Amino acid sequence: MEVNVRDLTGDIAVIQLVGRLNMASAARLREAVTSIVDSGRTRVSIDMSGVDFLDSSGLGAIISALKTTRQAGGDLRIAAPTGQAKLVLQLTNLDRVLTAYDDAETAFNE
Amino acid sequence: MSDAIRHTLHMSSPPDDVDTVHGLLEIVWTEVPAIGMEDRFSLETAIIELASNVMRHADPGSGVSCTLLIETFPDRIEVTLSDSGEPGDVQLADRDMPDVLAESGRGIPLIQALVDELRYDRTDGLNHWHITRTLKSDG
């Protein structure tokens, strides 16, 4: 899985994930979010449009990242999950706590 | 039984991991193109959850060896994952999704939401996990 981080204005960072968010890659998402929060940015938006597979290990990393941002006074939002990832978010009821925004760039504008 | 298409994968974890299993599934979906997207999503998720569970919990410290058998019938897919690890200690009955902010505990209920049957047995010193999913007729 590729993890690409870019800064928006203010304290917002966008993480673009490309590939599979599973047991083999979940730690990289946790590390990326910890690093972002340590650098002072507390609002994180995850662009999931390139995630072609998501499982419970990946969900655990997203929840962990959500807690990391909230404990620092910020928040985490997800954007544009498709196909299998969308199905998994629905089946695990996570779509109730993590609204899927259309676009990671504007997720904090809404 | 003779009309099943069989794919088998032998793994040792480490170094093999769930991406090794994704690699086999890419071959299955290519060789059995009639399987619809919903069936693929569901089976791939259930199989990866099962493999993750075995690699995470069955490893006694020296690694775990597994054999994954995927049998595709005209109306269903049957999956058996056998491993040499610690005996499975998983309560399969009546598993609900954990609290939404829990960081673990979704694997088994997710599998159960995606397949018709999930069974476990231990024979000859091996754990055997069985999954069956009936294929959608419009696949």
Nearest residue to B104 via CA among B35, B43, B71, B57 = B57
Q: How confident is the model at residue B90 (pLDDT cuts 50, 70, 90)?
A: low
pLDDT band, residue B139 (cuts 50/70/90): very low
- Average pLDDT score over residue span B82-89: 82
DSSP assignment string, A48-83:
EEEEEEE-HHHHHHHHHHHHHHHHTT-EEEEE---H
Distance from CA of A92 to the nearest CA of B (A): 6
**Parallel, antiparallel, or unpaired: how do β-strands A43-54 and A12-21 relate?**
parallel
Average pLDDT of span B105-118: 94
User: Which chain A positions have a beta carbon within 8 Å of B41's beta carbon?
Assistant: 83-84, 87
User: What is this model's ipTM?
Assistant: 0.91
Rounded to two decimals, what is the model's pTM?
0.92
Residue B2 has pLDDT above 70, yes or no: no
Higher per-residue pLDDT: A49 or B90? A49
Which of the residues A23, A28, A93, A98 would you substitute to probe the B interface, choosing the one with the greatest number of B C-beta atoms within 10 Å? A23
**For residues B88 and A100, which has the higher predicted lDDT (pLDDT)?**
A100
